[in-house]
């Protein structure tokens, strides 16, 4: 387990165990809609939805999503 994983809220881990991607789990934990994240990323909601549902987003996508959520890429990649 990396040091960053120790900063994961239980609710995020539980959502992942229940089948959510880490990105979706974090977004829902933070109470942010897909539309809001998409607006922060300056992309469409449908484009963001595809990124969020990916089991392994590209490193660039992960970096941008993490910034939009106020997290580190490592927190979203477990």
pLDDT recorded at residue 39: 98
User: How many helices (H) and strands (E) are present in the chain, helices listed first?
Assistant: 6, 0
Class of domain 14-76 (CATH, top level): mainly alpha
pLDDT recorded at residue 3: 41
> What predicted TM-score, i.e. pTM, was given to this entire model?
0.86
pLDDT recorded at residue 8: 85
pLDDT recorded at residue 13: 95
pLDDT recorded at residue 32: 97
- Cβ atoms of 55 and 47 closer than 8 Å: no
- Cβ atoms of 73 and 63 closer than 8 Å: yes
Spans of the chain, pLDDT less than 70: 1-6
């Amino acid at each position: 387990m990396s040091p960053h994983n120790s900063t994961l809220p239980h609710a995020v881990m539980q959502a992942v165990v229940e089948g959510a991607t880490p990105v979706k789990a974090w977004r829902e934990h933070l109470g942010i809609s897909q539309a809001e994240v998409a607006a922060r990323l300056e992309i469409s909601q449908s484009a963001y939805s595809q990124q969020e549902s990916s089991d392994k987003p590209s490193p660039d996508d992960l970096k941008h999503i993490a910034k939009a959520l106020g997290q580190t890429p490592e927190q979203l990649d477990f």
